[in-house]
């Protein structure tokens, strides 16, 4: 007679409850604030503080979104955020790709010290750079411009982006570069024609990282740019008054601000995941 030490096999229902119920609870906990923000933005303003209010509003209305785009300059602020974020992506990728290729393919004095410096920069708060950047951009005469915010956002996005791209380039065999050089390519030609197409998922992942960090940045946008270049994060903060908070407009602005990044992620999530896993292993 044999003893069944493993115990009874779990039923499909028990297995589903054991695996999926905790996952569902975690997902609900994570999206709960966003769901509350969405439902609040669709409520009638007069029912926000009603004593008998419920989680699901009795009446859904787009009035808050109409007020947001017709009575405020939120559409123009949204355009400013798009220009600054895309500009930061272009500048960040151009510099981080070339720097990462040099770190990955060449050995030169100070290489490890520079890489360590790039890593240490991310340990310091952004507020330490706000005074030097403000003075520098005031001297250059570019305060309250898109260029000022693009350069400011590049200061904290390029170091980590360089680290990301270096790991992606390290995963590509150097023999491909050497073969391209033998065929007559210059080092820049080998980068553009051979290495960069293979590292495209990593480039996309790095570009998304730069875009999101620039899109969500508030400190530099509130100090280095005035009303002429007010970005979305600063515009949302202006909806909080001294004596009153326009909760309908505030939550509608939060939903609109989160929508572009969410849609972008949904469209290229496969390439993003491929880029993140590509840099984790070396070929």
The pLDDT value recorded for residue 234 is 92
pLDDT in tens, 233-267: 999 988 887 777 888 888 999 999 888 888 877 77
| Average pLDDT for the chain | 84
Which residues 6+ apart lie within 8 Å of 178 measured at CB? none
SS3 content of the chain, % helix, strand, coil (to 5): 75, 0, 25
**pLDDT value, residue 242:** 73
Report whether pLDDT(77) > 90: yes
Angle at 155 between CA 151 and CA 157, to 5 degrees: 105
The span from the CA of 171 to the CA of 88, in Å, is 26
Q: Which of 15-24, 65-74, 77-86, 175-184 has the highest mean pLDDT?
A: 77-86
Q: How much is the pLDDT for 1? A: 46
To the nearest 10 degrees (0 to 180), the angle between helices 146-170 and 111-121 is 130
Structure-token pair, residue 121:
């920069």
Q: How far is CA 143 from CA 75, 230, 231, in A?
A: 22, 12, 14
pLDDT in tens, 81-122: 999 999 999 999 999 999 999 998 888 888 888 888 888 887
226: helix, coil or strand?
Answer: coil
Half-sphere exposure of 43 (CA within 13 A, CB side): 23
The three-state secondary structure class of 109 is: coil
CA distance linking residue 126 with residue 181, whole number of Å? 41
210-221 pLDDT, tens digit each: 999 999 999 999
Query: Is the confidence at residue 6, as pLDDT, over 70?
Result: no
d(CA 205, CA 211): 10
E strands in the chain = none
Cross-strand partners of 179:
none
Q: What is the reported pLDDT for 272?
A: 62
Residue 20 scores a pLDDT above 80: no
pLDDT in the model for residue 230: 92
Helix pair 200-216, 146-170: axis angle to 10 deg: 150
Res 217: pLDDT: 93
Residue 8's pLDDT is what? 58
- Average pLDDT in the 183-191 region? 86
């Amino acid at each position: 007679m044999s003893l069944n030490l493993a115990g009874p096999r779990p039923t499909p229902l028990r297995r589903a409850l054991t695996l999926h119920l905790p996952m569902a609870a975690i997902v609900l906990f994570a999206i709960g604030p966003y769901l509350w923000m969405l439902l609040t933005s669709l409520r009638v303003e007069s029912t926000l503080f009603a004593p008998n209010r419920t989680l699901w509003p009795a009446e859904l209305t787009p009035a808050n979104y109409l007020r947001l785009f017709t009575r405020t300059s939120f559409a123009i602020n949204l355009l400013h955020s798009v220009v600054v974020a895309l500009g930061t992506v272009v500048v960040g990728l151009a510099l981080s790709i070339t720097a990462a290729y040099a770190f990955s393919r060449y050995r030169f004095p100070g290489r490890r010290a520079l890489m360590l410096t790039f890593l240490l920069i991310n340990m310091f708060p952004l507020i330490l750079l706000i005074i030097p950047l403000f003075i520098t951009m005031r001297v250059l005469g570019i305060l309250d411009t898109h260029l000022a915010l693009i350069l400011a956002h590049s200061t904290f996005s390029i170091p980590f982006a360089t680290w990301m791209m270096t790991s992606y380039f390290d995963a590509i065999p150097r023999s491909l570069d050497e073969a391209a050089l033998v065929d007559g390519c210059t080092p820049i030609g080998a980068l553009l024609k051979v290495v960069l197409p293979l590292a495209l998922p990593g480039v996309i992942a790095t570009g998304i990282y730069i875009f999101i960090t620039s899109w969500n940045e508030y400190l530099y946008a509130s100090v280095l740019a005035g009303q002429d270049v007010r970005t979305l994060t600063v515009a949302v903060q202006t909806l909080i008054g001294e004596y009153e908070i326009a909760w309908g407009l505030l939550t509608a602005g939060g939903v609109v601000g989160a929508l572009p990044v969410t849609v972008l992620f949904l469209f290229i999530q496969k390439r993003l995941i491929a880029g993140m896993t590509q840099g984790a292993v070396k070929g």
